[in-house]
Amino acid sequence: MTTVRHHQVVIDGGGTAGISVAARLRRQGVTDIVLVEPSEHHYYQPLWTLVGSGLAKAGETVRPQGKLIPKGVTWIRDRAAASTRTTGPSRSPAATRSPTTSSSWPPACSSTSSPCPVWPSRSGGTGCRATTGSTSPPRTWEFIRNVRGGTAIFTMPAGPIKCGTKESIDYDLLHAVPPQSAPAWLKDGALADPASPFGYLAVDQYTFQSTRWPDVFALGDVANLPTSKTGAAIRKQAPVVVANMLAARRSKPLPARYDGYTSCPLVTAHNRMLLAEFDYGLKPKPSFPFIDTMKPRYDMWLLKRYGLSALYWHGMLRGLA
Ligand SMILES: Cc1cc2nc3c(=O)[nH]c(=O)nc-3n(C[C@H](O)[C@H](O)[C@H](O)COP(=O)(O)OP(=O)(O)OC[C@H]3O[C@@H](n4cnc5c(N)ncnc54)[C@H](O)[C@@H]3O)c2cc1C
């Protein structure tokens, strides 16, 4: 027999967006929050590009999920499996949750195919890598170290991808970024945007409210937003989602708006990086207006290598930054 449980807030996905939102809701005094997340581990994905190029260790990118879930949040260690509003906002094998409470949907995007399915045999190349999964980056570095020469090939799929996954590769070592889309259980569900061929969720691009259900909000990689899918974007999205969810629960007008801010840190050398930051209108939104971050800089590289991960673990995931 299925047990029906009701909660004030249900968050599907305990990645960057899910944990950030949960932490902020707790700080706002929300007491009944459920987080559905199947993984025992949480990954800081932006460092994977440096792991793949031998400049950081894989171990630096992972922490136990249980240590990051804010105190007072109930963790359902399971996989949400459907999203249909005829029976409720979402279902997991463990629980069915109330359609009357606020939900947040950040289970990111998934790769639609295994990386490099065809190219190595066609090109005659000897190796093929991607840097989009937790086990891939160290192997990417192994491949790169073993390449002695050749022609670099970059691949990038059509459609939105997680920022920072574009990598260079030799002809002997093809690095392919697989096409990405919403996970199947959302892509095929009622929350998916019919206008998105990738099945990303239909939300208002300024408030994150579902275009169909006012008690549902989506942010992060899984939301169909006309901006780059980055953790930096989520840092700006999370406070907006939280303010608007709380207002929606009180049937108040939504007070907060997101301007599309995102940032793309482009590593140009083993110790240089440039940081491009912009909004929906591609208007520059520099975090450091006193320096020109559009040129490769050592200080920006240090920021990516050491500063941003500290900001992530100690600030963002605790609802403080
Ligand atoms: C190689 C790489 C480099 C990057 N570089 C940068 C960068 O330099 N700067 C930057 O800002 N961003 C960067 N990003 C992007 C950034 O990491 C993502 O945008 C961000 O992590 C997305 O957060 P999210 O919460 O939407 O998804 P995620 O953090 O991916 O979390 C999704 C969660 O949903 C869970 N989940 C999956 N299925 C289910 C289910 N059925 N039910 C419940 N939960 C489920 C997953 O286990 C996961 O924990 C990079 C990404 C990659 C891959």
Tally of CA atoms within 13 A in the half-sphere of 319 that contains its CB: 20
In this prediction, residues 117-146 reach a mean pLDDT of 63
Mutational pocket test of ligand 1: of 36, 163, 234, 311, the residue with most ligand atoms within 8 Å of the beta carbon: 163
In this prediction, residues 301-309 reach a mean pLDDT of 97
DSSP string, 173-213: EEE----EE--HHHHTSTTB-TT-TT--B-B-TTT-BBSS-
Question: pTM of the predicted model, to two decimals?
Answer: 0.88
CA distance 215 to 204: 13
Q: What is the mean pLDDT of the chain?
A: 84
**More confident site: 234 or 165:** 234
Per residue in 145-172, pLDDT (tens digit) is: 887 777 767 677 777 777 644 444 457 7
Cα(13) to centroid of ligand 1, in Å? Answer: 9
**CB–CB of 33/9 below 8 Å?**
yes
User: Measuring from atom 23 of ligand 1, which residue has the nearest CA?
Assistant: 16
**More confident site: 99 or 280:** 280
CA distance 276 to 300: 11
Please check whether the domain covering 4-38+77-109+182-249 is classified as CATH 1.10.1740.10. Answer: no
pLDDT at 150: 79
